[in-house]
Amino acid sequence: MLRSLSIRDIVLIERLELGFGAGLTALTGETGAGKSIILDALGLALGGRSDRGLVRSGAEQGSVVAEFEPHEPAALEALLHDNGIPFEGELILRRIVTADGRSRAFVNDTAVSTALLRQVGELLVEVHGQFEQRGLMNPQAHRGILDAFGGLGPLVAQVRTAHAAWRKAAGRLAEFKEQLATAQREEDYLRHRERELSDLDPKAGEEEELALRRQSLMNREKLMTALGEALAAVSGNGGALERLGAAERKLERSAGMAPELLEPAVAALGRALVEVGEAEAVIESALRGLEDGSGTLEAVEERLFALRDAARKHRVPVDALPDLLAETRTLLERIDAGAGEVEAAEREVAAARAAYRDAARVLSQARAEAAAKLAEAVMAELPPLKLERARVRVRLEPLPEEEWGPEGAERVAFEVSTNPGQPFGPIGKIASGGELSRFMLALKVVLARLDSAGTLIFDEVDAGIGGATAAAVGERLARLGLERQVLVVTHAPQVAACADHQCSVSKHVEGGRTRVAVRELEASERRDEIARMLAGAEVTDAARAAAESLMRVAGVAG
């Protein structure tokens, strides 16, 4: 709901502060008094086109600030949250236009693009005028409006679920077909690769193991030479064991001549022989280990280089060769079993399509019933609005299968025929300006509870009518005011009499400048304003009496 509107230096308005209440508010005044300027200013705050011609002559910039209390904040809150804009229940839209035509936009003091400001504005206000229509005039919105009117949300949800399942199954089928086609194109290569890798039989971690063994084998010859020389020095002819043994025997033969002197030496030589004997055994064992080691250096290098050549050929690390072999076998298995997989996926797609088609058919039938009820309800509103010869229909146009979507299998369009024999067509192209506003009013009365916008604006919805028809328009606007905040620019006293609030717009010259003023009228002032609307320039007692009668009939205290 629009709480207030502050306008600075816009066209003929130098400074204007307006407050708005709930229900129906009528803006009245002489033709050319400036009522459209107020709507233009509000439109600017809602993201409308800016123009330097909107800035009051002599001013550097113009500005409009509109304060709202959103009617249904959920969708608005999500939009603001996605764009990092703080929101605590109130919303302030601000637009500044400079004298050179540049503009800036703000939502709750956060700078935003004009496009985002327009998105926010469309969730707050819906305008219906002779030259601007939003919401119901947008064919893209008709399907959602019909579904909301018919309470078809659960059926639409089922269709969305079925469509998602169908698309998912179709995606899997496409993936299977693509993989199969790719594999079939490469089948000869894949079979060659599988034979080559199978013969090679790579193992995980094999490269590192072979590299260590290769390093060990490259050092084996040197080790064997060293060990052989050491063994010869220890146990060979004239080696340590032989010489130590000879020394021990000589001392043993002479030990009786000086036992206290020689026996320690004999004992030490015995110990040395034991140690050298152990060293001999260790050297021999190490030498045998090198001689008996599995694989030659040549064999290890041949295996290692074969693995690395295969890895370079297939552009993968050596350790990835086992995985490549497994993947190759999987692809070949898919080729062999691919036709069966594709057939199974095709059956799944067919079943999902049938489920979607059944859900969409149920939704289509429900939409057809809701369409008939909606058209009937709108038609019932037309005769009092002087549209008794007009007809309204909600057309359901089946879509080709390639256009079936999550919202169903048909396009929905609101169409009218304003005269017998005239073909049906889109509302905006068939109806004249005044008729268009009244068609919108009839639709809005029927759909009032479905509107997300908390404020509805009707600009001269009474154009070209009067008397009972104007009274019918006022009565319907008042009914809408019970559900939403409604602002109407009107020249019809019958419409003004039905309003909960009335603002008089006037234009006057002050200090050589033309200015626009707006004033909310008290009950007695309303009587005089409505009398002026009835009588023209000179307000007579009869006009005042007629105005009181209109207000009394409309339920407004005089």
Q: What is the pLDDT of residues 55-99, one digit of tens each?
A: 988 899 999 999 998 877 888 888 998 899 988 888 999 999 999
Percent over 90 (pLDDT), the chain: 35
**Parallel, antiparallel or unpaired: strands 13-19 and 2-10:** antiparallel
Which token pair is 18?
């307006």
Work out the average pLDDT over 487-499: 89
Cα 167 from Cα 208, distance rounded (Å): 48
Q: Is the dihedral of CA 489, 493, 497, 498 positive or negative?
A: negative
* pLDDT range class, residue 556, cuts 50, 70, 90: low
pLDDT tens-digit series, residues 159-204: 999 999 999 999 999 988 887 787 778 888 888 999 999 999 999 8
- Kindly report which listed range (352-361, 436-445, 476-485, 521-530) carries the lowest average pLDDT score: 436-445
Q: Could you give the strand order of the β-sheet that contains 391-398, starting from the edge strand earlier in sequence?
A: 391-398, 410-417, 425-426
pLDDT tens-digit series, residues 261-312: 888 888 898 899 899 889 889 988 888 877 665 557 788 888 889 999 999 9
pLDDT tens-digit series, residues 364-396: 999 999 999 999 999 998 888 888 888 999 999
Q: What is the 3-state secondary structure (H, E, C) of 470-513?
A: HHHHHHHHHHHHHHCEEEEECCCHHHHHCCCEEEEEEEEEECCE
Work out the average pLDDT over 516-523: 87
558, pLDDT greater than 50 = no
pLDDT tens-digit series, residues 106-124: 999 999 999 999 999 988 9
AA identity, residue 333? E
CA-nearest of 534, 533, 545 to 30 is 533
pLDDT of residue 101: 85
Partners of 94 in the beta sheet? 65, 106
* pLDDT range class, residue 428, cuts 50, 70, 90: low
What per-residue string of b and e applies to 526-536 under the rule 16 or more CB within 10 Å gives b?
bbbbbbbbbbe
Domain segments of the chain: what residues? 155-363
Mean pLDDT of the chain: 86
Work out the average pLDDT over 484-511: 88
Q: 104 burial class (0-12, 13-18, 19+ CB within 10 angstroms)?
A: middle
- DSSP H stretches of helix in 96-137: 114-124
Task: Decide which of 66 and 224 is more confident.
Answer: 66
* pLDDT range class, residue 431, cuts 50, 70, 90: low
Q: How many CB atoms lie within 10 A of CB 558?
A: 13
- Kindly report which listed range (28-32, 300-304, 311-315) carries the lowest average pLDDT score: 28-32
Is-above-0.85 flag for pTM? no
Total residues belonging to the chain: 558
Highest mean pLDDT among 25-29, 261-265, 429-433: 25-29
Which token pair is 69?
């209390």
229, pLDDT greater than 90 = no
Q: How many CB atoms lie within 10 A of CB 25?
A: 23
* pLDDT range class, residue 469, cuts 50, 70, 90: confident
Angular region, 109: left φ>0, alpha ψ -120 to 50, beta rest = left
Q: Is the dihedral of CA 153, 155, 160, 165 positive or negative?
A: positive
